[in-house]
Amino acid sequence: MGVCQRLRLLVLQERWDDLRAQLHGEAVPARLRAGEDTEGRTILDEIAAARPNFSLRKN
């Protein structure tokens, strides 16, 4: 696999991750949350708690 193909595969995987996050109602994909500090994590957790829940299952 060439360098260009590897780069394209990485971009495609990032896009899949973004799409999965969007479909599951996540404000920020997990790969972008990995480097968050505690304050940033707290803010993103508050955003996640405020999102609507359209699941038929009630947790």
Per-residue pLDDT tens over the stretch 9-47: 999 999 998 898 888 878 788 888 888 889 988 988 898
Burial of 29 from C-beta contacts in 10 A (0-12 / 13-18 / 19+): middle
pTM of the model: 0.61
Q: At CA 46, angle to CA 51 and CA 10, rounded to 5?
A: 75
CA-CA distance, 36 to 28, in Å (whole number)?
A: 11
